[in-house]
């Protein structure tokens, strides 16, 4: 088995991140540092360590959906000492999240120790949609919605287009639905910043056909077999 696949299947991180760990010299096979991405290991015999931690394939796979509260980081450990989503989960397996939400964003996160599953869900070719609920201060013009639907231009580069619909409005706030199928860093926040809008609340409510539903902030539960199938199919 290729080393990056072994690490990913063991719940270390996504395959791309595992490639970075290998190139950075943080991975050892039978006590020897390995930096070649094409390295093949015998998962039954070879001893693989990452930053002195022995890595092994999980005995069973775990698939969880979590309602991330605002004020939690998505990393396994935070250099600033902030709370992380792993403080919310009681699980013996080493999990990683499929995609992330920034510190001030809440909503649906999927965690697993199944690297193959994670790669299928995260791969761009599946174009799996992510839906957000956004509350902004004040009103928003139809012309501004049109700009986001086409793709706002930031520093001379056009961002991916989005489906944006106004849901409701009162004297202070406007609520919108935003659907994207490309996961650029802080994409939704940057879209609204580009048109001068201040976000009051940003919450992810759907990944593919898996919905947050009535899951309370900070709570989590296993994905159903139907949800797993829908994610893998990307529909």
Which of helix, strand or coil describes residue 132?
strand
In angstroms, how far apart are the furthest CA atoms of the chain? Answer: 66
Query: Kindly report the CA angle at 61 between 83 and 96, in degrees rounded to 5?
Result: 30
pLDDT tens for each residue of the chain, 235 residues long: 999 989 988 888 878 889 999 999 999 999 999 999 989 999 889 999 998 889 988 878 899 999 999 999 988 777 788 899 999 999 888 888 887 899 999 999 999 988 888 888 877 777 789 999 999 999 999 999 999 999 889 888 888 889 999 999 999 999 999 999 876 778 899 999 999 999 999 999 999 999 998 999 999 999 999 999 888 765 4
Phi and psi at residue 31, to the nearest 5°:
85, 0
- Tell me the catalytic residues: 102
pLDDT at 137: 95
Q: What does the block give as tokens for 88?
A: 């919310």
> Are residues 82 and 23 part of one domain?
no
- The structural domain count of the chain equals 3
Are 120 and 219 in a shared domain? yes
pLDDT, position 233: 66
Distances 48 to 159, 167, 189 between C-alpha atoms, Å: 40, 51, 39
The range of the structural domain enclosing residue 103 comes to 63-125+215-233
Cβ neighbours of residue 67 under 8 Å, at least 6 residues apart? 106, 107, 108, 109, 212, 215, 216, 217, 218, 219, 220
CATH of the domain at 225: 3.30.70.580
Query: Are residues 219 and 200 part of one domain?
Result: no
141 and 34 assigned to the same domain: no
**Same domain as 175, residue 152:** yes
Phi and psi at 76, nearest 5°, equal -65, -35
95 and 36 fall within a common domain: no
* pLDDT score at 235: 45
Beta-ladder partners of 136: 174, 199
């Amino acid at each position: 088995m290729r080393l990056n696949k072994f690490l990913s299947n063991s719940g270390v991180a996504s395959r791309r991140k595992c490639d970075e760990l290998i190139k950075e010299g943080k991975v050892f096979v039978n006590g020897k540092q390995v930096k070649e991405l094409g390295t093949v290991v015998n998962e039954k015999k070879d001893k693989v360590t990452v930053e002195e931690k022995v890595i092994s394939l999980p005995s069973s796979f775990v698939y969880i959906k979590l309602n991330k509260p605002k004020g939690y980081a998505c990393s396994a450990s935070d250099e600033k000492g902030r709370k992380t989503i792993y403080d919310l989960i009681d699980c013996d397996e080493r999990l990683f999240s499929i995609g992330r939400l920034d510190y001030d964003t809440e909503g649906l996160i999927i965690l697993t120790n199944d690297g193959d599953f994670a790669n299928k869900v995260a791969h761009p070719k599946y174009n799996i949609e992510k839906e957000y609920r956004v509350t902004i201060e004040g009103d928003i013009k139809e012309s501004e919605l049109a700009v986001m639907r086409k793709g706002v231009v930031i520093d001379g580069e056009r961002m991916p287009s989005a489906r944006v619909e106004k849901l409701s409005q009162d004297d202070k706030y406007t609520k919108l639905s935003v659907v994207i199928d490309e996961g650029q860093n802080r994409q939704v926040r940057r879209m609204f910043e580009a048109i001068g809008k201040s976000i009051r609340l940003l919450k992810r409510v759907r990944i593919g056909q898996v919905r947050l539903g009535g899951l309370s902030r900070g709570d989590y539960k296993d994905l159903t077999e139907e949800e797993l199938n829908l994610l893998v199919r990307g529909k």
